[in-house]
A and B are shown apart, each in its own frame.
Chain A
Amino acid sequence: MDTEEYRDHPVRSYVLTSGRAHPSRNTLRPETLVRAVESRPVLSTAGRLERELVQLCQGTLALAEVAAYLALPVSLVAVMVSDLVDAGNLTIRSNHQAHVLPGKDILEKILDGLRKL
Chain B
Amino acid sequence: MDSASSDRPVPGQHLAPTVARSVKILVVGAFGVGKTTLIGAVSEIDPLRTEERITTASVGIDPGQPNKDTTTVAMDFGRITVTEDIALYLFGTPGQRRFWDLWSGLADGAVGALVMIDTRHLEDSFEVLDQLELRTRIPFAVVVNQFPDSPDYPLERVRAALDLLPETPIVECDARDRQSAVLTLITLVEHAMTFPVFQKVNA
Contacts and interface: CB of A to CB of B under 8 A. Distances in A.
- If over half of B's interface residues share one DSSP class (helix, strand or loop), that class is named, otherwise mixed; here it is mixed
A108 B198 CA distance: 11
B109 A29 contact: yes
Contacts of B189: 107, 110-111, 114
A101 B17 contact: no
A101 B201 contact: yes
Contacts of A117: 42, 80, 178, 182
Contacts of A110: 23, 82-83, 86, 88, 111, 189
B20 interface: yes
Given A103-B198, A110-B82, A33 B22 contact: yes
A69 B11 contact: yes
Contacts, number: 168
B91 interface: yes
12 contacts: A15-B101, A15-B105, A16-B55, A31-B91, A33-B87, A65-B48, A67-B50, A74-B52, A74-B75, A102-B23, A103-B198, A105-B202
B203 A102 contact: yes
Interface residues of B, number: 58
Interface residues of A, number: 51
Interface string A6-45: 0000000111101000000000011111000000000000
A116 B16 CA distance: 18
B20 A101 contact: no
A101 B186 CA distance: 18
